[in-house]
Structure 1
Amino acid sequence: MKQAYPIILTPSEHGYVVYVPDLDINTEGKDPTDAIDMAADAIGLWGISAQALGREIPAPSAALPVCAPPQTAAYALVDLDAYHGDPV
């Protein structure tokens, strides 16, 4: 099942730091595209870890978070089933 989680991209000295508010996790990437890809991967890995521990994966928020410049809000699309190895 594909879902779009809101993220916040913050420029840093070495690229972008990404924060996923719905899951309270961070990752980073060398540019915005890489940062969004890394966020999707972090969400997927977080999801399989949570389920292995018997926890529910929270549904993504419907709206983008409010952020201040130079931050940017975006969505990271992740296919959670692909991380489980479930048939598509």
Structure 2
Amino acid sequence: MATRKKVKPVTEAEKKYLIRVGERLKHYRLLRGYTNYESFANKFDLSRSTYGQYERGANITLLTLHRILDVLEVDRDEFHRGL
């Protein structure tokens, strides 16, 4: 039987980074005219609760982040600049 690899806990620096990512997602969502995350998530068939967690700093996969950026029509380099 294979043993499971231990996952390292998220560091404080990583938590702060994820919060900045979430703040940036919210910024671009608002910039595109979506006043609340629920309407944005519903329109693009995303889980409302999961998307809301991303805006609050939950861990997000790179693929999911890129899909959301595509929906928001945000250049990936622009999004990551200054994070």
TM-score, with normalisation over the residues of structure 2?
A: 0.29
Identify the structure with bigger relative contact order (alpha carbons < 8 Å, sequence gap 6+): 1
In terms of fraction of residues, the more strand-rich structure is 1
In terms of fraction of residues, the more helix-rich structure is 2
**Higher gyration radius (CA):** 2
TM-score, with normalisation over the residues of structure 1?
A: 0.28
